[in-house]
Amino acid sequence: MIELPKTPSMSLHGRKALIIGASSGIGLGCAVALAEAGAHVCLSARNVNNLNQVVKAVQTKGCSAEAMVLDISDIETTQESIATNGPFDILVNSAGLGRHAPSQDTTKEDFDEVMNVNLRGAYFVTQAVANGLINSNRPGSLINISSQMGHVGGIDRAVYSASKHAVEGFTKAMAIEWGPYQIRVNTICPTFVHTPLTQSTFDNPERIRWIKEKIKLGRICEVEDIMGAVVFLASDASAMITGSALMVDGGWTAD
């Protein structure tokens, strides 16, 4: 009798996940996906009212969820909160912002604000979750929501693209360092996703034409397109994947 290989499980039962930026958009979608896969999800954002509404909605689906108010630009408070409430088996960092403008018009204030969240905040929240896992001798899956702009450039997106290229870099370095602890570190790189954060782009007919020309599948990315990817990377189905970028870009970067 042939012994057939067993497909790894995508169940997340018994695991605890921290989702940063979970009150809307991609972060909200990731929180729902992980909760539906069985994880206990700690939903984090700055706006407590929105956060509590999302937690209640997730719980109404019969899933396990709690709120955790965090501003990842406040490094010290974030580290303390993660140490107190962890360890977390899964991290999804979806906090991010953009201050899009032609590069010759970039201000120091916009540059610092984007880097403070997209790079500095992302770096230290990933570090904090990893420290909790290492101190507890636990494996884990750490996922940063990056962007296709972490691999290419884009109109009016010099600062945003720089921040996401940096996320790709530290993800690879951390994956190398933490591999011996069985801690995997990866990114998900979406194309333009229809969320409140991107609404101004979708309101621009010229930008919409440019986006649709670049996306080989010929349609706009929705939050639901990210949800399967995050469960895959969080679960044992991706147990041999680390230091990688999962492109969810409809073929944008295939050129």
* Each residue's pLDDT tens digit, 179-223: 999 999 999 999 989 887 777 778 888 888 888 889 999 888 999
Which pLDDT score is estimated for 154? 81
Q: Which domains does the chain have, with CATH numbers?
A: 16-195+223-248 (3.40.50.720)
Q: Which amino acid, one-letter code, is at 137?
A: N
Catalogue the active-site residues: 160, 164
Does the pLDDT value for residue 155 go beyond 90? Answer: no
Q: At what angle do helices 25-36 and 48-60 cross, to 10 degrees?
A: 30
Question: What is the C-alpha to C-alpha distance for residues 172 and 87, in angstroms, rounded to an integer?
Answer: 22
Question: What is the C-alpha to C-alpha distance for residues 94 and 96, in angstroms, rounded to an integer?
Answer: 6
Instruction: Kindly report, residue by residue over 69-109, the tens digit of the pLDDT.
Output: 999 989 999 999 999 998 999 999 998 877 777 778 878 99
Which pLDDT score is estimated for 9? 95
Q: How far is CA 213 from CA 109, 146, 218, in A?
A: 32, 22, 7
Which pLDDT score is estimated for 37? 97
Which pLDDT score is estimated for 35? 98
Helix (H) or strand (E) holding 168: helix 158-178
The mean pLDDT value of the chain amounts to: 93
